[in-house]
Amino acid sequence: MMTPIVLDLSRVPIALIGRRRLAERRLAQLNDDANADIRVFSDAPSDGLALAAGNRLVRRLPTQADLEGVRLVFIADLSTEDAQVIAERAHAAGALVNVEDRTPLCDFHVPAIVQRGDLLLSVSTGGKSPALARRLKLALAELFPQAWTERLEQLAGLRQELRAQGAPPQEISHATERVLEREGWVPGPQPQH
């Protein structure tokens, strides 16, 4: 069984090990957090990976010492044998490991995400069907357009204002529900109170 969590990548040292397109794609996702602490290891980086990694690129595969202090390890574009060796090193260093397209070697999976400001929506199939996760991500992106960035800020402002007035959590929740209903932002069944 998997348990979803949301990590602050500025507080979690990351190693990305790869060579080509899959590593480039993962680095692009990780780079969305400008404060992420990422080191990229590649013994044969594609031009795109080298360009995207910049001065974070180490032009070899990581040693055991390189992985000390790292908490998340992403591996892509490596043979199963190379991935297994690096995963074992990472585990010995206390890191969690994700090996692209090799579910049995993964401690965690990265969901398909839609982000609208601080609103984060995710879909995971536990690695069983990435195509389904991508399709559901597209559906979520349509249901939750960019306008949700501002909507969330509006709801956060309401919450902050009510908290400053000393409103209890239940009153804040009801006020938020009233805004959602009035604006029609979330279609479908309403929560039971």
pTM for the whole thing? 0.82
Q: Measured between alpha carbons, how far is 53 from 71 in angstroms, rounded to an integer?
A: 19
Model confidence at 126, pLDDT cuts 50, 70, 90, reads confident
Residue 191 has pLDDT above 80, yes or no: no
pLDDT at residue number 101 = 85
Q: Up-side HSE of residue 99: CA atoms within 13 Å toward CB? A: 18
Q: Measured between alpha carbons, how far is 183 from 168 in angstroms, rounded to an integer?
A: 23
pLDDT at residue number 36 = 84
> What is the overall mean pLDDT for the chain?
92
Give the DSSP letter string of the chain. Answer: --------GGGS-EEEE--SHHHHHHHHHHHTSTT--EEEE-SS--HHHHHHHGGGEESSPPPHHHHTT--EEEE-S--HHHHHHHHHHHHHTT-EEEETT-GGG-S--PPEEEEETTEEEEE--TTS-HHHHHHHHHHHHHHS-THHHHHHHHHHHHHHHHHHTT--HHHHHHHHHHHHHHHT-S-SPPPP-
pLDDT in tens, 5-46: 888 888 999 999 999 999 999 999 888 776 789 999 999 999
Q: Is the dihedral of CA 9, 128, 135, 27 positive or negative?
A: positive
Q: Looking at the domain 10-110, which fold is it?
A: Rossmann fold (3.40.50)
CATH superfamily of 111-145: Sirohaem synthase, central domain (3.30.160.110)
Tokens 């800020």 -> residue: 153
pLDDT at residue number 138 = 95
Q: Measured between alpha carbons, how far is 94 from 41 in angstroms, rounded to an integer?
A: 18
pLDDT at residue number 193 = 59
Least confident interval from 27-36, 46-55, 84-93, 179-188: 27-36
Question: Quick one: average pLDDT of 97-104?
Answer: 90
Beta-bridge partner residues of 41: 17, 58
pLDDT in tens, 135-153: 999 999 999 999 999 999 9
